Amino acid sequence: MVGSPIRLGLIGGNIAESKAPELHVIAGRLCGLPVTYELLRPDDFGRSFEDVLWQCRDDGFRGVNITYPYKERVVAHLAVADPAVQAMGACNTVLFEPGGPRGLNTDYSGFIVGYRNTFGNASPGRVALAGAGGVGRAIGFALARLGADELRLFDLDPQKAEALADAIRAVHGHTVIRISESVEEAAGGADGLVNATPLGMGGIGGCPFPPELIAGQRWAFDAIYTPVDTPFMLAARAAGLAAMSGYELFLYQGTDAFQHFTGRNVAEDRLRAELMRAHDRVPV
């Protein structure tokens, strides 16, 4: 590997356990590129999110990933070319370019790839989606793109759910969108259960769908990947649901972001094997 390191980072809140540095550094090594990747919590610096974002630009970062709770907040500062990402109003990947920062959403593209690789061409059917924040918006749009018949949205802030419903309807009119007043209402008769809330994350804990609601559905997905075996994933598997862990989204959104950052495509099978070795486990 030669040349100056490609400097990357992640700006977010609860990111101490993030495996993103490993993913990008290993991907760089596999492609023969020197890569550094930093975890950046604005609270640690006593500075605003915007201050940290612009400091990354001024310090020569090639780009940064954005995670909870800043995926929606960052959009106001970016040029976003993809009409679907414009409509969803959330970005998780920022490229610092001469003409100004550009925003993308690899949660959206990564979820689509992960779903197809896990569940094949099966329609998502009727889906209960808990959480209408940054990652929830990306997943909601991805599910509509995948041909979901119906999305039942639940968020503790009903206005967020309504805003997401309106945004999806404007782009994907074929998918029926309903606002649910509770997770119980959303889950009843659903084919799929999706967690796009922080519940289950290391340091937060909890389960978005109480175990007694998890029965009779076909599939489940949890956006949380630290830990991989969240209470929700464990309960879904125990109930016999086909499950896609947040690790799959982590992997595919990461490889997509890496391609945007570097212009290089990393071999997914080799990267997965290296990450498994680094984590001393096989994610499921």
Residue 178: CB atoms within 10 A of its CB come to: 15
Residues 96 and 103: their CA atoms lie apart, in Å, by: 9
Tell me phi and psi for residue 234, to 5 degrees: -60, -40
Q: Tokens 């990402």 appear where?
A: 85
- Relative to beta strand 100-104, strand 150-154 is unpaired
Residues 235 and 5: their CA atoms lie apart, in Å, by: 43
Contacts of 199 (CB under 8 A, 6+ apart): 130, 205, 206, 207, 208, 224, 232
Task: List the catalytic residues.
Answer: 70
Residues 164 and 257: their CA atoms lie apart, in Å, by: 24
Please give the span between the terminal C-alpha atoms of the chain, in angstroms, as a whole number: 32
Residues 154 and 137: their CA atoms lie apart, in Å, by: 12
Residues 195 and 185: their CA atoms lie apart, in Å, by: 15
